[in-house]
Amino acid sequence: MRGLLNKVVSRSLSVAGKWQQQQLRRLNVHEYQGAELMGKHGINVPKGVAVSSIEEVRKAIQEVFPNQSEIVVKSQILAGGRGLGTFKSGLQGGVHIVKSEKVEDIAGKMLGQVLVTKQTGPQGKVVSKVYLCEKLSLTNEMYFAIMLDRQTAGPLIIACKKGGTSIEDLAEKFPDLIIKVPIDVFEGITDEDAAKVVDGLAPKSADKKDCIEQVKKLYKLFCDSDCTLLEINPIAETADNKLVAADAKLNFDDNAAFRQKELFALRDPTQEDPREVAAAKADLNYIGLDGEIGCMVNGAGLAMATMDIIKLHGGTPANFLDVGGNASEGQVIFLA
C-alpha cells in the first residue's frame, strides 16, 4: 500500500501501507494469535494450531487434523511476503500446502530457521513457531480492512469484491471496485453501514445477513481491542457458503497497553527491532529506520524537521528519537 493509493483510494490507505512497511512502536501479533482473537469474537476463521517443536507437530496432526489429507503449514514471523520468502537454509517459501504425512518434514525445515522476505531485510527473521491450518475450499476471495482515518476522524472500512492479492495491485487494476465506508465513532457501526460493506464485497453464495453480522463482529473486535489496523486478505467464501477470515493482519495502539494487558502480553520482542525494544524499556520514544545518520533530538516536531532536512540534502536518517524535555540523566547515558 504505497503512494499510488493517494490517487486511487485515499491518503488513509497510503498511511496504512506505511504502517505495514515501517517499524513503528505498536503491537503487532502473529497470524495464529490474531486468528485466536477473532475466533473468541465469533468471527469465522480456519481451524488451526501453532506449534514450536516436532513433538507438537505430531500431536497436532493426531488430535487436531486426524482426517485431513492436506494441511497448510505457515511460518510465523512479524513480516509480510512469507509465501514468496526464502529461508537461509535454502527452503523456498514460508507457506506450504502439503500432504499430512509431509507436514512434519516441512515444519522441521522451518522451525529455528531464518526466513527472508521483502519486508524483513536481508537479515531475515527466525521462525520460532509454525501455524498448522486446515486447507479451505475457497470459492471467492475478497478484501476487507478497518483502519483509522484522519480525514473522517474515525474508523474507515475498506472493501473490495476482489482479494487474495496486494491492495496495491487491487487499487491499480480495479480502482472502481474499492469502496470506503466511514463509521461514526460515537454511533458505531449500523446495519446500514454493514450492508454497504457487504454490497462492496459482493459475496456470491454466503447469506447476506450472516455476512452483515460478521462485519459487525469485526468492527466490534477493532474497537474493543484498540486496533489501529485490521486487514483481512482474503476474506473469502467457502464451498459450504460461509464467509471466513482466511488470513488477517492486526495492529494495536501501544497507547492502549494500560487497558489491554492480556492482549499486550502476546508481544513477541524477538520479532521486533532490538533497538526499539531497548529504547522502550528506557521509556524513550524511538523508531528505528534504515538510514546512516543517527538523530537525537529534543522534541518530536524538531525531530521530524531534522529528518526532513536530512532527506532534503540527500541523506537518510537512521532513526527517529524524541528525547523530550523530561529525560533523566540515566536515559541520556543509555543513549550514549
pLDDT band at 336 (very low <50, low <70, confident <90, very high): low
Among 85-89, 119-123, 283-287, the minimum mean pLDDT is found in 283-287
Q: Are residues 163 and 208 in the same domain?
A: yes
Better pLDDT: 292 or 326: 292
Q: Are residues 128 and 182 in the same domain?
A: no
Per-residue model confidence (pLDDT) at position 277: 74
pLDDT at 19 over 90: no
pLDDT at 117 over 60: yes
Among 141-145, 173-177, 305-309, 322-326, the minimum mean pLDDT is found in 322-326
Asked whether the beta carbons of 115 and 36 are under 8 A apart, the reply is no
pLDDT at 85 over 50: yes
Per-residue model confidence (pLDDT) at position 23: 40
Q: Are residues 127 and 147 in the same domain?
A: no
Better pLDDT: 83 or 16: 83
Q: Is residue 222 a part of any domain in this protein?
A: yes
Q: Are residues 309 and 255 in the same domain?
A: no
| CA 125-38-244 angle, 5° bins | 95
* DSSP β-ladder status, 248-252 and 227-238: antiparallel
Q: Are residues 228 and 278 in the same domain?
A: no
Q: Are residues 152 and 239 in the same domain?
A: yes
pLDDT at 14 over 60: no
CATH code of the domain in which 86 resides: 3.30.1490.20
Query: Could you say which of 31, 231, 272, 276 is catalytic?
Result: 231
Q: Is residue 227 a part of any domain in this protein?
A: yes
Q: Are residues 166 and 243 in the same domain?
A: yes
Once rounded to an integer, what is the mean pLDDT over residues 151-173?
A: 88
Cβ neighbours of residue 306 under 8 Å, at least 6 residues apart? Answer: 295, 297, 317
Q: Is residue 32 a part of any domain in this protein?
A: no
Query: Could you say which of 131, 143, 219, 286 is catalytic?
Result: 143
pTM exceeding the 0.85 threshold for the entire prediction: no
Overall number of domains in the chain: 3
Instruction: Identify which of 329, 330, 285 has the alpha carbon closest to the alpha carbon of residue 304.
Output: 285
> Where a domain ends, among 230, 261, 292?
261
pLDDT band at 330 (very low <50, low <70, confident <90, very high): confident
Q: Tell me the chain's radius of gyration from C-alpha atoms.
A: 21
Q: Is residue 33 a part of any domain in this protein?
A: no
Q: What is the pLDDT of residues 193-228, one digit of tens each?
A: 999 999 999 999 999 999 999 999 999 999 999 999
pLDDT at 7 over 50: no
pLDDT band at 306 (very low <50, low <70, confident <90, very high): very high
> Where a domain ends, among 232, 261, 290?
261
Q: Is residue 42 a part of any domain in this protein?
A: no
Per-residue model confidence (pLDDT) at position 335: 65
> Is 131 among the residues known to form the active site?
no
Per-residue model confidence (pLDDT) at position 293: 95
310 lies in which domain range?
Answer: 273-335
Q: Are residues 17 and 161 in the same domain?
A: yes
Cβ neighbours of residue 214 under 8 Å, at least 6 residues apart? Answer: 43, 44, 243
Once rounded to an integer, what is the mean pLDDT over residues 145-156?
A: 93
pLDDT at 5 over 60: no
Q: Are residues 284 and 324 in the same domain?
A: yes
Once rounded to an integer, what is the mean pLDDT over residues 82-106?
A: 95
CATH code of the domain in which 292 resides: 3.40.50.261
Per-residue model confidence (pLDDT) at position 89: 96
Cis peptide before 66 (omega within 30 of 0): no
Q: Are residues 125 and 10 in the same domain?
A: no
Per-residue model confidence (pLDDT) at position 47: 95
Q: Is residue 39 a part of any domain in this protein?
A: no
Which residue in the block uniquely carries the three cell numbers 476482489? 162
pLDDT at 113 over 60: yes
Once rounded to an integer, what is the mean pLDDT over residues 180-190?
A: 96
Q: Is residue 15 a part of any domain in this protein?
A: yes
Better pLDDT: 267 or 98: 98
Average pLDDT over the chain, rounded to an integer: 87
> Is 231 among the residues known to form the active site?
yes
Q: For residue 45, give Cα distances in angstroms to 149, 204, 245.
A: 26, 19, 5
Helical segments of the chain, H only:
4-8, 11-21, 31-40, 54-63, 103-110, 167-173, 191-201, 208-224, 261-264, 274-281, 300-312, 329-335
Q: What is the pLDDT of residues 28-63, one digit of tens each?
A: 899 999 999 999 999 999 999 999 999 999 999 999
Per-residue model confidence (pLDDT) at position 276: 79
Q: Are residues 229 and 114 in the same domain?
A: no
pLDDT at 17 over 60: no
C-alpha grid cell, residue 327: 529525560
CATH code of the domain in which 199 resides: 3.30.470.20
Q: Are residues 22 and 153 in the same domain?
A: yes
